[in-house]
Structure 1
Amino acid sequence: MTITVTPFIAFFGATGGCTNACLVHTLNAGYNATALARDPVKLTQMLFDQGISQEVLDDQLLIIKGDISDLTAIKDVLTNNTIRTKHIELARQIISGVGGAPTVNKSLTKPVAIDHPEICAQTTQNIVQALTEIHFPDKPSITVISTTGISDTKEDVPFMSRFLHKVILADPHRDKKEMERIVTENTSPKGVFRGAIIVRPSLLSGDHNVKTGQGWKNLRVGTEENPAVGYTVGRQDVGEWIFEQVVKTGGENHFGQRITLTN
């Protein structure tokens, strides 16, 4: 018997705004996907609310219950290990938009704290570890959602926002920067990723609802060397841009780039 293998995309942080929007577009376009979720019911309801049917979920999406510290769950997401065909394969692409929840403190030195201040770096490192242990001959690409305000090359935030990025958001930005380092160090030829795209949106606004965005074509797009500088960008539009420019195309044209997105 011949088993037909359908490529799929692995999602981490799928209940977050940008990643959830990308997942909705991915499913609507007929792609197969897997997703890690601490609360699968929450993720399922978010997808229902955006018009994804139970039939589509049954046919195209495998949700693995777990968190970013669970290497077994991460491996299952990367290999669709419990899919109905029982034919284990490796994700062609990884989309990661994991992030911590901010809280406001009565502190001048750290006015904004994150409930998990190293979550982006830890997630990425655990994905690397999982891929190392899987021992598949092929390599997936990875796209991670980072942020503006951490570039060592050129200023990519407006002057009036620099205090916010450099001081108030110092801890989450430090985490994003470490995540980027891990991605870069583990990309081909010796790494576990065949290619990597780092997406640096401006301060995120809006929610995950793909029906309320301005559209990915309205975004201003730049690179680290020539950044698009702005104050905010919609989560829905960032997710749609990743779908259009990475999921649909494979993303090869953007491998090795740090892409800035803003309205």
Structure 2
Amino acid sequence: MSTKSNPTTIAFFGATGGCANATLVHSLLAGYKVSALARTPSKLTSQLLEQGLSQETLDRQLTVIQGDATNVEDVKRTLLSNGKLVSIIVTGLGGKPVLQYSFRQPVTLDNPEICASSTDSILKALKEVSAEYSATTAHKPLLVYVSTTGISNGPEDVPFGFRFLYHIILAVPHEDKRKMESMLRLHMENPNESERLLRGVIGVRASLLSGGVDYKSGKGWKTLKVGTEEKPAVGYTIARADVGQWIFEELVKKDPGEWAGKVATLTS
């Protein structure tokens, strides 16, 4: 796929994490133009080079913006590709787990509100730049976010053996994901379409993530069990590489209309 025949542009947040990183790699290999926000750009470029991408590909297709996802100005620079609003936003942000002396909440995050705070920044940034673009739905970006099972309002999507881990030990990290999802849902429920800054939002709730930053380390996206919030796919673990490839194949590479406004649950 060449960039000439494919005008889609993508902005990434949390691209040094395994899921979003894998989506980023597949997007670059397919010829997409990409922007990515990173606190340490050299870390991201090193990850990509180590996975076999060429410096020529990075120079031609990737723009890395140094900054913070909670800073509106940094987010705005990431959302604008050559002066135009990107077509798709992929956010895989999440904090680093931190152990604490607490029986009820033994695991917290280095930034317990990173998902909610960055989502707020993305919406604020979109609002500031939206006046420069057509207000029609066709010109608004699609947002895809990576979340987690265990926070569903529907049927239980976590196997019995993992429920204590998810609902008790990981309560703090999961609350941040829940807030992020709530913010996006409320935004898209605004009855005034002109005030909605996104053409659609798609959530990806993955079971317990395994593996690191290596887009080749998964079993393959076609091997995954896929469900919805209403009929979740229930399982124990999933490779980050597989989550990222599924996002690319199903939500970036082709028209994701069947997933518009929905939440996908993924597991191995």
TM range (shorter): over 0.9
Q: For each residue in 1:207-229, what CA deviation from the matched residue of structure 2 results, as whole angstroms up to 9, or x when unmatched?
A: 12112210000000000000000
The residue type equivalent to 1:77 in the other structure is: T
1:214 & 1:254 partners in 2: Cα distance? 23
* Unmatched segments (≥5 aa) in structure 2: none
- Is 2:20–2:92's contact at 8 Å kept on the other side of the alignment? yes
2:216 & 2:7 partners in 1: Cα distance? 28
The residue type equivalent to 2:252 in the other structure is: V
1:117 & 1:102 partners in 2: Cα distance? 9
| Alignment correspondent of 1:60 | 61
| Alignment correspondent of 1:261 | 266
| Alignment correspondent of 2:34 | 33
1:203 & 1:127 partners in 2: Cα distance? 26
Does 35-44 or 184-193 show the bigger shift? 184-193
| Alignment correspondent of 2:183 | 182
**Between the two proteins, what is the percent identity of the paired residues?**
50
1:166 is paired with a residue of what secondary structure? helix
| Alignment correspondent of 1:93 | 88
- Is 1:94–1:142's contact at 8 Å kept on the other side of the alignment? yes
The residue type equivalent to 2:13 in the other structure is: F
- Is 1:202–1:233's contact at 8 Å kept on the other side of the alignment? yes
Shift of 1:107: 2.1
| Alignment correspondent of 1:145 | 146
| Alignment correspondent of 2:97 | 102
2:9 & 2:245 partners in 1: Cα distance? 17
| Alignment correspondent of 1:195 | 200
1:72 & 1:120 partners in 2: Cα distance? 17
- Is 2:10–2:35's contact at 8 Å kept on the other side of the alignment? yes
| Alignment correspondent of 1:114 | 109
Shift of 1:187: 2.5
Shift of 1:153: 1.3
> TM-score if structure 2 supplies the norm length?
0.92
> TM-score if structure 1 supplies the norm length?
0.94
1:153 & 1:214 partners in 2: Cα distance? 28
- Is 1:149–1:166's contact at 8 Å kept on the other side of the alignment? yes
Shift of 1:250: 3.5
2:92 & 2:165 partners in 1: Cα distance? 21
Q: For each residue in 1:83-137, what CA deviation from the matched residue of structure 2 results, as whole angstroms up to 9, or x when unmatched?
A: 4xxxx10110000000000012232121111000010011111100000000222
2:28 & 2:188 partners in 1: Cα distance? 27
| Alignment correspondent of 1:133 | 128
* Unmatched segments (≥5 aa) in structure 1: none
| Alignment correspondent of 2:225 | 220
Number of residues of Structure 1 aligned to a counterpart in Structure 2 = 254
2:227 is paired with a residue of what secondary structure? strand
Q: For each residue in 1:156-187, what CA deviation from the matched residue of structure 2 results, as whole angstroms up to 9, or x when unmatched?
A: 00011111111101011111011001111222
Does residue 229 of structure 1 match 2:230?
A: no
- Is 1:78–1:91's contact at 8 Å kept on the other side of the alignment? yes
Does residue 162 of structure 1 match 2:167?
A: no
- Is 1:228–1:260's contact at 8 Å kept on the other side of the alignment? yes
2:255 & 2:29 partners in 1: Cα distance? 17
1:7 & 1:218 partners in 2: Cα distance? 27
1:153 & 1:193 partners in 2: Cα distance? 25
1:255 & 1:133 partners in 2: Cα distance? 24
1:69 & 1:178 partners in 2: Cα distance? 15
